[in-house]
Amino acid sequence: MTEYLDAVAQVLTKYSLVTGFAVIGSIVWASYYVSDKLTRGWLHGSSIAILIGLTLACIGGLTTGGSKGISDVSVLAGIGVMGSSMLRDFAIVGTAFGVRMEAFRKTGLSGIVSLLVGVFVSFTVGALVAYAFGYRDAVSITTIGGGAATFLVGPVTGSSLGASSEVIALSVTAGLTKSILVMSTTPFVPST
Residue 48 Cβ vs another protein, minimum distance, rounded to whole Å:
10
Nearer to another protein, 12 or 20 (CB): 20
Residue 161 Cβ vs another protein, minimum distance, rounded to whole Å:
15
Nearer to another protein, 151 or 157 (CB): 151
Nearer to another protein, 7 or 91 (CB): 91
The conformational region for residue 40 under phi > 0 = left, psi -120 to 50 = alpha, else beta, is left
Residue 7 Cβ vs another protein, minimum distance, rounded to whole Å:
25
Cα 20 from Cα 77, distance rounded (Å): 7
Cα 16 from Cα 156, distance rounded (Å): 24
Cα 79 from Cα 58, distance rounded (Å): 14
Residue 157 Cβ vs another protein, minimum distance, rounded to whole Å:
13
Nearer to another protein, 1 or 96 (CB): 96
Distant-in-sequence, close-in-space partners of 125: CB < 8 Å, separation ≥ 6? 145, 148
- Residue 130: C-alpha distances to residues 107, 136, 146, 173 (Å): 32, 8, 11, 13
Radius of gyration of the chain (CA): 19
Residue 12 Cβ vs another protein, minimum distance, rounded to whole Å:
16
Nearer to another protein, 6 or 166 (CB): 166
Opening angle at CA 166, ends 162 and 171, nearest 5: 80
